[in-house]
Amino acid sequence: MHLKYRSGQKEFLDGDTIKREDLFQNLRELDFINTHLGGYNASRRGLLKLLSEKKIKTLMDIGFGGGDAIKQLSLLAKKNNADLFFYGVDLKQDCVDYAEKNLFSMANKKLICADYRDLSPDLLKKTDVIHCSLFLHHLKNEEIIDLFRFARSNNCMILANDLHRNFLAYYSIKWLTALFSRSYLVKNDAAVSVTRGFRKKELLDLLEQSGYKDYSVTWSWAFRYIILAKT
């Protein structure tokens, strides 16, 4: 397995013919993985840093999947006496349906089935932070730069967490999902996603090319990067 450069291999999750029950099983297992392998912790650490430095009222989660990151960040905000409203944007209607049930008791949210590039200017004016959890690696470098430029042009900060492209991460998740996953999507995509992940310098270069001046990339266990860019 060569990990010097980002892979262009598509994940099964990027397809548009996934059965609803298979997608839901994938979302449940991703919640478990993010809970136990540091995904939510990376986003929480990033949000805490932003809250300590900026006045934040609204966060938009792009590619929210099952909505569990929104739930985790909302709990963190309440614990820290921060009054945050959350928008979730995802292309898959099935994800929106799943998340609506998952976040049924959460009043401070609105979920939207759309491409983020089609959002109204009025909505974007209300948005302080654009959050992405395990979303960037689904994009080509040029698409990531476009997303960062989109955020910057709308005066939004970036908070993202994504994967460190690393041999140990690749073989560990491949072994763990082979043993414990019941989802064919997770069994395939978990390892593929690592090959589509990043090295620190690559993320720094993408942020620089997007035009942000105040940004950071911090490593977080297990094999995650916390990406912050401030306006």
Whether 9 is in a domain gets the answer no
* The pLDDT value given to residue 151: 98
Please report, for the domain that includes residue 69, its CATH number: 3.40.50.150
* The pLDDT value given to residue 1: 67
Buried b (16+ CB within 10 A) or exposed e, 61-83: bbbbbbbbbbbbbbebbeeeebe
86-126 pLDDT, tens digit per residue, is 999 999 999 999 999 999 999 999 999 999 999 999 999 99
Count the residues in the chain: 231
* The pLDDT value given to residue 144: 98
Phi, psi (deg, nearest 5) at residue 132: -135, 125
Whether 202 is in a domain gets the answer yes
Please give the distance of CA 110 from its chain centroid, rounded to a whole number: 17
* The pLDDT value given to residue 4: 94
* The pLDDT value given to residue 231: 87
Whether 40 is in a domain gets the answer yes
Whether 195 is in a domain gets the answer yes
How many distinct structural domains can be found in the chain?
Answer: 1
Q: CA neighbours within 13 Å on the CB side: how many for 102?
A: 22
Whether 188 is in a domain gets the answer yes
Whether 15 is in a domain gets the answer no
- CA-CA-CA-CA dihedral for 120, 138, 221, 74, to nearest 10: 30
Whether 52 is in a domain gets the answer yes
Q: Report d(CA 203, CA 33) in Å as an integer.
A: 23
Collect the ranges in the chain with pLDDT lower than 70.
Answer: 1
Phi, psi (deg, nearest 5) at residue 62: -95, 130
Q: How far is CA 23 from CA 6, 19, 80, 220, in A?
A: 25, 6, 33, 27
Whether 13 is in a domain gets the answer no
* The pLDDT value given to residue 185: 97
Q: How far is CA 44 from CA 56, 132, 203, 208, in A?
A: 14, 12, 19, 24
* The pLDDT value given to residue 10: 95
Query: Which residue range forms the structural domain that includes residue 76?
Result: 24-230
* The pLDDT value given to residue 29: 97
